[in-house]
Chain A
Amino acid sequence: MAKKPNSWVRDKLFLGMEFQDYFRSLFTPANFIAVAILCFAIPAMIYRLFYGLGPSTNLSDTYPWGLWIGFDILVGIALAAPGLALGTAVHLFGMKEYRHFVRPAILSSLLGYIFAVFALLFDLGRYYRIPYLLGWSWGFSSILFLIGWHFFLYINICLIEWSPALFEWLNLRKAREFFSKLAIWATIFGVIIAGGHQSALGGLYLVTPGKLHPLWYSLLLPVFFLLSAVFAGISMVIVESTISHRVFKRQLEHFDHAKFDGLTIGLGKATASGLFIYFILKMFDLAHSNTWGYLNTPYGYWFLVETLGFVLFPALLFTSGARNQNTKLVRFAGLLTVLGVILNRLNVSVIAYNWNLPASLRYYPKWTEVALTIGVITMLVLAYRFIVNRMAIMYDHPAYESEH
């Protein structure tokens, strides 16, 4: 065997270890859990592909969309907004102090979108026809058409934004330079494209006035979805950076804790203002559509749990955390905000959808649906870790440091 490719594989893929050592290093508790999850998820995927949606899901003619759309797409895409939020702040508003948050944010957006689309393929009846959408049959009057095209464009944009890290890893200096210059343009179009489809995901439900509960149905749905995607994106940066600073400690030698905490609080302030605007808009919407009466019903209580417990409460926590320089509180509020956005998306797509049906006719996911969803999340985390361990995501690449 030739010596050269062998060492390339060793350096680039096996983290500088021999294959045997690398293989042994994979036996960790985290990997064990991941494999255990995939043992359920992959059979669920195969079951879906061979037997169809009927046997493998609880979807029905009354519930055409379930967990796979509600969680994998609506939640997944909202939580994949860090690239949008941070890319805009740093590249457009020139907030260079957040520079180090950008690469992890873009990577999580890229992987978030790729895996959301991957999960979507299982939900589509004829997944193999997906290219039809791009080049064969165009439904211009459909909001879903807009979303489909925007997903396609945005994945490409994220690829361009992320590619400098790839080319640093591959040591292709020229390609890196070229794509670094493209990256700023990609960011600009990313803002337009991401803003368009984040709001369009809410727009999907504009056509369901009779089916979605009046407390959630609103002509402002696109605005709510866009705004919540922005603060979900920033909150995800808070949560993700907290986690990844623990997991990837080894990579952060010159890490300045005080500065990091300060920046986290800055992100908290931004989220708080987003949350307050969102809350006020929600109240205006209640008043405008005059749906106060529904508040004193079970659905109303649930609505209050969402808007008070997961919007107003974290907003107040952020405010208090920022005032008292309490980073822990900001991180906790970030987590609450993320959970709140998950709750909101599931409410719109599943819980408050078909609200006037009797309880026994309601949809709840089958185990295969849950297994596939958790499996796709696991794959995302594994891919994220694989890339961060190999490329300059968390730190500046030593050979290119001066060019940032």
Chain B
Amino acid sequence: MRISRREFLKRTATVAGTTLLGGSTVAHAYNIEKHDPSIFSTGNTANERNWKVWVERSKTPPVHEERYGVLVDTTLCIGCRRCEWACNDWNKNPNRPIKEFEASVQHKKSVFDEVRRMHAGNFTVVNRFYSSKDGNPIYVKRQCLHCEEPGCLSSCFVDAYRKTQKGPVLYNASVCIGCRYCMLACPFDVPAYEYHSALNPQITKCTLCYDRITKEGFVPACVEICPAEVLRFGKREDLINSAHEKIRNNPGKYIDHVYGEHEVGGTSWLYLSSVPFEEIGFRTGLGETPIPELSKGYLFMVKMFEIVGAWPLVFAAYYAISKMRNKHAKGETQSSEKKGGGHG
């Protein structure tokens, strides 16, 4: 029932996009954006499950854990979308048969026709771009980048996020009020929201499979299924070194930039590309300043103002009160002059 409605909406959207609006890609994208079935998803359990794993683990005395991450070589991706399927499967998000995911790359009309983003019911999407060098398609997987200093974490007013030692940024749905400020603060537009839940909406996002990677020998679901060795899970330091090595050893193949090494203070996910990153859907020019730093200075100023600036104001008030008292003491009779009536 639910599937058939989704299918119906999807088809309606495609028809509207192609016939009514003359197939304009932007209008098409808009219709899909409005009717993407994953938008309607509610009741996500993966984020909560991963949070509980973290709570459980943090009860034992802390041991030093290495930072992990994933290196994505976008030049190798074949667009099979199996990572999307595996992610949905592991995280119990609404899913379709894996064949349908694999088929997108061959179909003339497919989900690749528009640039997608993550929604309530999917933590990762693969988008297609065309290379400015040779015109070949470039497939780019998108998900939470798990910042070293996350903007979502610092923006959350109920402290619902944690940066774990291992790397994943986790979200605690049980305190979330649903203000959606983290969505504003995320420079990569990652957190999605269950807009179609009336009572218990929550943020949903990739957890870097914290529940898997904390077990010996397990890698994130997307990494495990990738058939083209696009994704490599490992220690962040090692990944950075091997990324630079790849750039050095293959002159002309990659641009000399590892996206995520320094962006907004560094991220757990790292990307290699053959074309400038803005051409494959990345926001560039973000700088190396972590997002939390942008508000830290201001917060400090406000606190200083409120603590330091408060005293002169308090003295002024005291002065005003004592002046008033003196006036009262000098004679109540003077107050009779103030009978001007009402203004204001």
Point out residues on A near B: beta carbons under 8 Å: 49-55, 57, 59-62, 64-65, 91-92, 94, 98-105, 123-127, 129-130, 132-133, 136-148, 181, 184-185, 187-189, 191-192, 195-196, 199-200, 203-211, 222, 241, 251-256, 259-260, 263, 358, 360-361, 394-396, 401-404
Contact = CB atoms under 8 A, between A and B. Distances in A.
A366 B296 CA distance: 35
Interface in B282-311: 283, 285-287, 291-292, 294-296, 298-299, 301-302, 305-306, 309-310
Contact of B156 (A139, A210, A404): A139
A74 B145 CA distance: 31
Interface string B175-214: 1111111011101010111111111111000000000000
A139 B298 contact: no
Nearest to A93: B316
A253 B341 contact: yes
A-B pairs with lowest CB-CB distance, top 10: A125-B178, A254-B341, A395-B342, A100-B344, A54-B195, A52-B198, A100-B343, A64-B180, A145-B157, A54-B196
Interface stretch (B27-35, B47-55, B228-236, B242-250): B27-35
Nearest to B176: A126
Contacts of A181: 321
A376 to B, nearest CB: 18
Contacts of A62: 117, 189
Contact of B294 (A209, A252, A259, A361): A209
Nearest to A59: B195
B59 interface: no
B158 A138 contact: yes
Nearest to A356: B283
A360 B158 contact: no
Interface string B109-123: 000000001111000
B343 A207 contact: no
Interface stretch (B74-82, B127-135, B266-274, B332-340): B332-340
A139 B158 contact: yes
18 contacts: A60-B39, A65-B184, A92-B316, A124-B178, A125-B176, A126-B200, A139-B159, A141-B155, A142-B156, A145-B157, A147-B157, A192-B305, A196-B302, A204-B181, A206-B294, A208-B185, A256-B341, A259-B340
A141 B161 CA distance: 12
A129 B200 CA distance: 11
B116 to A, nearest CB: 11
Nearest to B118: A61
Interface of B: 26-27, 29-30, 33, 39-40, 117-120, 151, 153-160, 175-181, 183-185, 187, 189, 191-202, 283, 285-287, 291-292, 294-296, 298-299, 301-302, 305-306, 309-310, 313-314, 316-317, 320-321, 332, 335-336, 338-344
A251 B341 CA distance: 10
Nearest to B316: A92
A105 B343 CA distance: 12
Contacts of B196: 52, 54-55
Given A94-B320, A126-B201, A144 B313 contact: no
B341 A360 contact: no
A142 B154 contact: yes
Given A100-B343, A404-B338, A144 B181 contact: yes
A129 B314 CA distance: 34
B157 A142 contact: yes
B340 A254 contact: yes
A126 B178 contact: yes
Contacts of A59: 195
Contacts of A49: 198
B184, B294, B317, B339: residue with the most chain A Cβ atoms closer than 10 Å:
B184
B344 A101 contact: yes
B33 to A, nearest CB: 7
B332 A206 contact: no
Contacts of A123: 179
A65 to B, nearest CB: 6
Contact of A361 (B33, B177, B181, B197): B33
Contacts of B33: 60, 361
B195 A53 contact: yes
Given A64-B180, A188-B310, A402-B338, 14 more contacts: A61-B118, A92-B317, A99-B344, A129-B176, A132-B175, A133-B158, A137-B175, A192-B310, A195-B305, A207-B291, A207-B294, A211-B184, A222-B302, A252-B341
A219 to B, nearest CB: 8
Contact of A252 (B117, B154, B339, B342): B342
Nearest to B317: A188
B179 A124 contact: yes
Contacts of A55: 196
B181 A61 contact: no
Contacts of A185: 317
Nearest to A205: B184
A29 B339 CA distance: 36
A98 B29 CA distance: 57
Q: Which of B155, B197, B286, B344 has the most CB of A within 10 A?
A: B344
A74 to B, nearest CB: 13
Given A142-B156, A196-B306, A130 B117 contact: no
A200 B298 CA distance: 8
Contacts of B317: 91-92, 184-185, 187-188
Given A185-B317, A251-B342, A256-B343, A402 B184 contact: no
Nearest to A393: B344
A182 to B, nearest CB: 11
Contact of A60 (B27, B195, B197): B195
B159 A51 contact: no
A49 B199 CA distance: 8
Contacts of A147: 157
Given A52-B201, A126-B176, A191 B302 contact: no
B159 A53 contact: no
Contacts of B175: 129, 132, 136-137
A188 B192 contact: no
